[in-house]
Amino acid sequence: MSVATSPASKSTLFQELARIVGAEGVIEHRDELLVYECDGYVIEKSLPDVVVFPTTTEQVVAIVKLCGRLGVPFVPRGAGTSLAGGTLAVGGGVMICLTRMKRIVEINLADGYAIVEPGVVNVWLTRALAGSGFHYAPDPSSQTACTIGGNVGTNSGGPHTLKYGVTVNHVLGVELVLPDGSIVRTGGVTEDDPGYDLTGLIVGNEGTFGIVTRATVALTRDPEAGRTLLGVFADVESATETVSDIIAAGIVPAALEMLDQPMIQAIEQAFHLGFPVDAGALLLIEVDGLDVGLDNQAEAIAEITKKRGGSVQKAIAWRTRKEPEYVAVWKARKSAFGAIGRLSPTFCTQDGVVPRTKLPHILRVITQIGLKYDIKIANVFHAGDGNIHPILLFDERDEEQVKRVLKASHEILEECIAVGGSVTGEHGIGVEKMEFMPLLFSPADIAAMIAVRAVFNPEGRCSPSKMLPTGAGCVERKTPGRMASA
């Protein structure tokens, strides 16, 4: 597929790319390329032939035109925090790494938007807005590393999506470089521009339409205050019932995060927050808004928690999200995956979604699947959205174990579909979940998606073999030996 596999053409590719971005903006040595052989999904790996770091939209245009001329596939990459192989360079080719396009172009508080380049790290925008009274609402757990370009690519979520929505709810417009080198600008600094909601369509395209080189995002008022409660429960069922009761009481929390026992233990070992390690489940419940209404809400939540047999271990009243106690609790939650590193050399985080009321069921099934395949599974999830993140612990050097992990993951996701959910709430389909698409969507649905992709990316040169099953199955594996799937 790729002409860039022969040493001669690879050298041409390198020279031409260096002409566009300068030699310091291209990587071609194998040892340097190894960093880019996978993203947060470590089970499949594929080396790009080169990695190029453009700094301007014009350079991106020149790069994709060059790829077109040479017939080389290309794939965009941000920080590589994707957990589904979304940035895997399937079949090699050029990886366009956007981390050097990192300017915050404009912040306009009067009109409530910011314009950023794709390599801006999510938390940089938050920091740039500190003290302004506004923030950028999507806050994925990886926000200190992940880029806004990547967030746009995968329509990222985060713990505060229950009240504030996901990335697509906060993107007003994008600049997209198509594989033919043309530039499309959708939306803008205003709402309701006449025409289709192309911005909405492009968010979550997982790099299969082209390269997003700029995004205009909406800014949200900071809440005046908040209350963050830690509820402790004997089991996951009572914690889940508490979540449903809170919603039924007419309260829409800003966040509702749940940890199960193995997860609580891992976090406690790592951060020593005084979490009760014998608890069956822990709920992090946050309400925010005007201070005047929050005590009533917090009291109502505490009542519900007690009624369901739980207890409120901590209740933090805060005015900003920078207060130490608040930061400590959320750091523990957002570093959950890091804490897991203490339990296991490798882990695979799944990203299923079920209707919230099906949470106890899916967790029972996950426990059974863990026993069946003899795989230890810890759970941390966005309980308010029904977005589960079972973390399967394993040793990637043990091929047989890796196979069991894949089978277990597969069964968990199939059950999510069976109860009316989805196989990805915020990480994307990538390469990992392509096989599930025919289970979620009919042939007509997938044909329509392929037709839409062809509007933007007719030759399939951008992010080949991603997201949509092709049927052709011409995925070129370049690094054998570490592949987990048989």
Partner 1 sequence: MNWPENEAGGFLGRGRYALATDRPESVDALRGVVIERTARGEAIYPQGGRTALDYGGVPGLPGVAIDTRSLNRVIDYPAADMTVTLEAGMTLAELRRVLAERGQRLPLDAPEGDRATLGGIFATNASGPRRFGWGRPRDWIIGVGFVTAAGELVKGGGRVVKNVAGYDFPRLLTGSMGTLGIIVQLTLKTRPIAESTAIVWASFDRGDDAREALARLTTSATRPTAIELLNRPAATAIGEPSGLPAAEWTIAIGFEGARETVAWQTERLAKELNARDCRSLEADSAEALWSRLVEDSAAKRSDYEQVSIVVNARRSAVVGLALKLDSSVWGVQAHAGNGIIRAKTLRSEEPSAIEAAVSELRRAAVEAGGNLIVSGRPEGRYEGLPIWGEPRDDWAIARRIKEAFDPRGLMNPGRFVGGI
For position 317 contacting partner 1 by CB under 8 A, the verdict is: no
Residue with smaller CB distance to partner 1, 167 or 401: 167
Residue with smaller CB distance to partner 1, 4 or 84: 84
Q: Please state whether beta strands 94-97 and 74-77 pair in parallel, antiparallel, or not at all (unpaired).
A: parallel
Q: Quick one: DSSP state of residue 435?
A: G
Here's the x/- map for partner 1, 339-368, by CB under 8 A: it reads as --------------xxxxx-----------
Of 114-133, binders to partner 1 (CB under 8 A) are 133
Residues 6+ apart with CB under 8 A from 170: 136, 137, 138, 164, 217, 218, 220
Instruction: Rule CB under 8 A: choose which of 440, 475, 483, 484 binds partner 1.
Output: 440
Residue with smaller CB distance to partner 1, 49 or 385: 385
Instruction: Rule CB under 8 A: choose which of 147, 238, 261, 297 binds partner 1.
Output: 297
For position 437 contacting partner 1 by CB under 8 A, the verdict is: yes
Nearest partner of 469 among 479, 456, 439, 481, judged by Cα: 439
For position 433 contacting partner 1 by CB under 8 A, the verdict is: yes
Query: Is the Cβ–Cβ distance between 229 and 312 less than 8 Å?
Result: yes
Residue with smaller CB distance to partner 1, 231 or 428: 428
Least distance to partner 1, CB of residue 469, Å: 11
For position 441 contacting partner 1 by CB under 8 A, the verdict is: yes
Radius of gyration for the alpha carbons in the chain, expressed in angstroms and rounded: 23
Instruction: Rule CB under 8 A: choose which of 248, 472, 473, 481 binds partner 1.
Output: 248
Of 45-84, binders to partner 1 (CB under 8 A) are none
Residue with smaller CB distance to partner 1, 62 or 423: 423
For position 109 contacting partner 1 by CB under 8 A, the verdict is: yes
Residues 6+ apart with CB under 8 A from 119: 78, 98, 99, 100, 101, 102, 147, 149
Instruction: Rule CB under 8 A: choose which of 2, 142, 147, 154 binds partner 1.
Output: 154
Residue with tokens 């990480």: 427
For position 422 contacting partner 1 by CB under 8 A, the verdict is: yes
* CA dist 122 → 10, 98, 145 (Å): 34, 14, 7
CA distance 389 to 377: 10
Q: Is 446 helix (H, G, I), strand (E, B) or coil?
A: helix
Give kind and range of the element (H or E) at residue 333: helix 324-334
Residue with smaller CB distance to partner 1, 57 or 261: 57
For position 42 contacting partner 1 by CB under 8 A, the verdict is: no
Least distance to partner 1, CB of residue 289, Å: 7
Q: How many CB atoms lie within 10 A of CB 203?
A: 24
For position 244 contacting partner 1 by CB under 8 A, the verdict is: yes
Least distance to partner 1, CB of residue 426, Å: 6
Of 373-402, binders to partner 1 (CB under 8 A) are 382, 385-387
* Site size for partner 1 (CB under 8 A): 84
For position 424 contacting partner 1 by CB under 8 A, the verdict is: yes
Which tokens in the block code for residue 309?
A: 């047999």
Q: Which residues of 23-51 are buried (b: 16+ CB within 10 A; e: fewer)?
A: eebbbbeeeebeebbbbbbbbbbbbbbbb
Of 201-220, binders to partner 1 (CB under 8 A) are 201, 203-205
CB under 8 A: which stretch of 63-71, 163-171, 256-264, 476-484 binds partner 1?
163-171
For position 22 contacting partner 1 by CB under 8 A, the verdict is: no
CA distance 264 to 329: 12
Instruction: Rule CB under 8 A: choose which of 142, 186, 379, 463 binds partner 1.
Output: 186
Residue with smaller CB distance to partner 1, 307 or 376: 307
Instruction: Rule CB under 8 A: choose which of 456, 463, 465, 466 binds partner 1.
Output: 456
For position 197 contacting partner 1 by CB under 8 A, the verdict is: yes
CA distance 140 to 121: 11
* CA dist 293 → 78, 137, 146, 229, 287 (Å): 40, 21, 34, 15, 10
